[in-house]
Structure 1
């Protein structure tokens, strides 16, 4: 008898479902052909109507059988008990392995900070009965905590530190798989939190012997970048002015100082302005001839510079202008 029935012997009552079939076979009418003189005046019954009536009778018979089967199942009182109850209700304890990539590539754009935040979100959704292991993966695999509760696992995240080495995520997943294979819990999950650089994950199919579900979480924080996209020196009517374009690739508005520097060696600030850039906005900044307070502006080497308060890529914060060639006069 199935072990999910409270009173399995009462399932024998479902055998009563055979009663309608037996009665149907015993009591069904057998047609008898009777000839009489006026038969030729009667209209023949369409075959389509006969098939429809037969189909209705079969469906009615099936419904009667199904009703008796369900009645027998109800008397048997089906219920998932023991180890099966938590699995059905989604409350079964899990064995979790959280792998955090701590290789050198995680330094870009605060990836490691975002990875720790993702790990905290996973632990906050975990149940108190879950067993959690936290693993740091770089050149070598390091176990921070093993088979502990979510609260202690979250506290261990404070010990995460970035390593100046390449990543080896494949070995870390295999290590977590061996760790979960030793768990007595049947539901097993591996969370792989990384920027998923190709160099850190060697090719080849992973063979998870523990039967764990591997869940990758890609860390991709939004760029907060302000860049100088172009610059130009304009000569007109014997006067010189400067124009540059500043673009925001960020998702937030910022107030950005823009400077014009003449003579890169002395870094003399010839003019400066402050602009407000909305998210993903581009503006043109113009330094008129009267705003540039330095001699040699028409020929000297110069560069534009922005001083953004939040900028993940400072390498594009300058735009250089080559010095103009002076014309020699013939005598």
Structure 2
């Protein structure tokens, strides 16, 4: 409010005393009327008052004062509906600065907000990540809100911050309290901020941002891992691809990622990760045993450990299931001999199933690794389509005319 005195100070500072000017002749100088001088002074004082009033109104608008006395029959402060939106996404687990985890800072900020809730106020706590609990509802019991805040923990499955703020603002918009305020406690990460918050807030609902965490965390996440080789055999190279994304603000050079099979590191690769962009990294691994192998792609340690490891499985089959389809009056002894264990020695074995050509249409091809067609006379359009779909899904088809 001290700014109100600025126009008054400028007014007195700019007052100028009239100076006497000597003229050789005063015949052409008219004497000013006293009434005209008074009229000018009144206008100046009115202009000064309007300037001071404008500054006072601007200060009051920013201060948003409330009535605290008994004025015109209204006792106490203005009733307020408080909506506390707490970001409990996984990014809040990060130790953002010297004050510890961002989520612990958020809980402290939330407790400070709930201390402002008075007896007749309404309040509710909206976490961005909720379990099976329904949508929060307003209550006049601040103790219930404190219990809800204390029960929160950082968890996966968080909605965007803008979506949660929109839900809270819509609920507050229907409250009977004349003043409605949504407090947003978050680290304001890009992954949870979502669209513009203001676009989802009804008119008359105020939004106050209470950011926590002052340091930009360094984090590389593993988006996806896939085995690109169609044939996986013991002692043979297999291609594995991992998609990494740099969630930080700085590029990372010579970044190292590793692949583990059965808890043993079997491959390593280096790459450059630009901020906010996905990068695909390829690895070549060679399984040394058969069966289902437990695998994982692991990145370097950073501020957010939960996404530094991505698990996958690698199936090195003990045997291959082969469907042999015999044409009418066709012999398959040479095929059977080629697939027999005597010919394969210590290599992978084949478990063969033989059917006639007429049984192909009613056979589920997906349960076999390969289909051998031995001298089929004719294939219907439906059988050709089934074989095409089977091959598109990675199955092997071999035709002996």
Q: 1 or 2, which has the higher helix percentage?
A: 1
Same fold (TM over 0.5): no
Larger RCO (CA under 8 A, 6+ residues apart):
1
Q: What's the TM-score once normalised by structure 2's chain length?
A: 0.36
